[in-house]
Amino acid sequence: MINKLYGTSLSLLTDLYQLTMAYGYWKAGKSEQEAVFNLYFRKHPFQGGFTISCGLSSVIDYLAEYRFSEADLEYIGSLTGSDGGKLFDAGFLEYLRSLELQCNIDAIPEGTVVFPNEPLLRIRGPILQCQLLETPLLNLINFQSLIATKAARMRLVAKDDALLEFGLRRAQGPDGGVTASRAAYIGGFDATSNVLAGKLYEIPVKGTHAHSWVMSFDSELEAFETYAEHMPNNVTLLVDTYDTLNGVRHAIAAGKKLREKGHDLGGIRLDSGDLAYLSIEARKMLDEAGFEKTSIVASNDLDEYIMDSLKIQGAKINVWGIGTKLVTAYDQPALGGVFKLAAIRTEAGEWDYKLKLSEQAIKVSTPGIQQVRRFKDSKGFVSDMIFNLETPVTGKATMVDPYDFTKNRSFEESASYEDLLVPIFDSGKLIYKLPSVHETRARVQEQLSGFYKGITRFVNPHTYPVGLEKGLFDLKTDLILKLRAGNEA
């Protein structure tokens, strides 16, 4: 869908340094050297205890159409260096013109609950091609995973209440709006006001009228009655244009006329004021008038914390319209995913494992061709272990905390588990059957139900155990020691 949205080649959706490194690989004769990169994030967003993987569908769409158009090549060829000379020579442009992706890509399916340092995608292939994919893959995965996680947190608070995404007008541009609508639906929302997203992704669309409709009439009652007359099967009335509780009275009056014609008042919407008090009073008024099934919709810069507070206060809201603080991930606008080289094939055919050092332990990358094994018991998921596919786990498996080697856990060979990364592309060919957006949405709730509830709380969430298989932990430790010794020398 991403290519349809823009109707143009997106191969230049990248940073210049990806192209300059690709050029360097090509000039140095390294362009076809096999390499492995892992895409992962280091910390959960929103100070939470879980993250929802999202964006794989867009990755597939992007890669399926990956090629450099003549317009792309003309632009690249026009770029100049600091001396005013051409940045890339004609031979490199010809290389790009005939480039076809040959990478193997494995990924954790969308809608899976994931944790820091676990590879969401593993990219293996010619190093030049892998390098070109870094920026676009991070762009597609980071934002959608962020929004899906925010939506899932709101679904946890809402429980069985309806959640409507109203964020398009406040989103970061058209793509931010459409992408956020999809990710919010996957995270647990029921519908969107975004009509384009509804068309592209088969998401239910919802919406009625704004304050301007009411203001365009001589009276609020006339506005409500006129709307109900012309849209009798879609009547949720916004009641706070002038005086909220008086607006509820007018909505009830319009609802009674609506019933005379065989329809009903679907809902009223509160968009300002003390939402707890107003919803309680509105519920009383509606029930007394015989509108027990009429919903009370609330909006007005809501997030999961405000929703939780309103529920504690006994608010009678059963439909939540969320916009700005969802689609912009208001309290944390970026996930912080990274893309790191983990192995490169030598001329002798052996893997040379790679690792990025840092003064900060959290920024030290992990080498290896990584897979994530999720162990479970009769109660649900218990631990995730990252291991190197080149040294398969046999017999009892021991997992070590990457930040504290004194913490470890062993699993018997008979332990139940699932390996999370699955093949998506084989030598550039798509081999994965992508689930529907509705199936992916259901997967999120199924996944969350399998974890200890402590990971979903907002304050001091439980830390789910994720570690390195003992052999991979030792490999990483040895590499760190060798690199530090080499730097000191």
What pLDDT sits at residue 257? 96
Across 117-121, 147-151, 390-394, least confident range: 390-394
Tokens, residue 400: 């070590």
Backbone φ and ψ of 419, nearest 5°: -85, 125
Q: Indicate whether 485 pLDDT > 90.
A: no
From CA 319, how far away is CA 297, in angstroms rounded?
Answer: 5
Question: Radius of gyration (Cα) for the chain, nearest Å?
Answer: 27
- Please give the tally of structural domains in the chain: 1
**How does residue 262 score in pLDDT terms, banded at 50, 70 and 90?**
very high
**How does residue 116 score in pLDDT terms, banded at 50, 70 and 90?**
very high
Q: Indicate whether 489 pLDDT > 60.
A: no
What pLDDT sits at residue 349? 94
> Is residue 372 within 8 Å of 465, Cβ to Cβ?
no
Mean pLDDT within 183-192: 98
Helix or strand run (H / E) with residue 180: helix 173-187
Tokens, residue 273: 């004021």
> Is residue 43 within 8 Å of 336, Cβ to Cβ?
yes
Percent of the chain with pLDDT over 90: 93
What pLDDT sits at residue 404? 87
Mean pLDDT within 379-401: 94
In a domain, 236, yes or no: yes
The domain that holds 299 is classified in CATH as: 3.20.20.70
Helix or strand run (H / E) with residue 380: strand 380-388
In a domain, 303, yes or no: yes
Mean pLDDT within 383-389: 97
Q: What is the pLDDT of residues 153-179, one digit of tens each?
A: 999 999 999 999 999 999 999 999 999
In a domain, 259, yes or no: yes
Q: Indicate whether 487 pLDDT > 80.
A: no
In a domain, 207, yes or no: yes
Mean pLDDT within 106-110: 98
**How does residue 292 score in pLDDT terms, banded at 50, 70 and 90?**
very high
What pLDDT sits at residue 421? 98
Q: What is the largest CA-CA distance in the chain?
A: 89
From CA 169, how far away is CA 15, in angstroms rounded?
Answer: 28
Q: What is the pLDDT of residues 57-104, one digit of tens each?
A: 999 999 999 999 999 999 999 999 999 999 999 999 999 999 999 999
Q: What is the mean pLDDT of the chain?
A: 96
Percent of the chain with pLDDT over 70: 98
> Is residue 375 within 8 Å of 456, Cβ to Cβ?
no
In a domain, 293, yes or no: yes
What pLDDT sits at residue 3? 65
What is the strand order of the sheet 162-165 is part of?
A: 191-192, 162-165, 319-322, 295-298, 267-270, 236-238
**How does residue 7 score in pLDDT terms, banded at 50, 70 and 90?**
confident
The DSSP 8-state label assigned to residue 436 in this structure reads P
Q: Indicate whether 387 pLDDT > 70.
A: yes
The region, left, alpha or beta by phi > 0 then psi within -120 to 50, assigned to residue 132 is alpha
Write out the residue range of the structural domain in which residue 172 sits: 149-327
Mean pLDDT within 27-42: 97
Q: What is the pLDDT of residues 335-360, one digit of tens each?
A: 999 999 999 999 999 999 999 998 89
In a domain, 233, yes or no: yes
In a domain, 126, yes or no: no
What pLDDT sits at residue 395? 86
Taking the alpha carbons at both ends of the chain, their separation in whole angstroms is 52
In a domain, 201, yes or no: yes
What pLDDT sits at residue 354? 96
Q: Indicate whether 394 pLDDT > 80.
A: yes
| pTM recorded for the entire structure | 0.96
* Length, in residues, of the chain: 489
What pLDDT sits at residue 4? 66
Tokens, residue 230: 């012309």
Q: What is the pLDDT of residues 190-213, one digit of tens each?
A: 999 999 999 999 999 999 899 999
**How does residue 290 score in pLDDT terms, banded at 50, 70 and 90?**
very high
Helix or strand run (H / E) with residue 57: helix 56-64
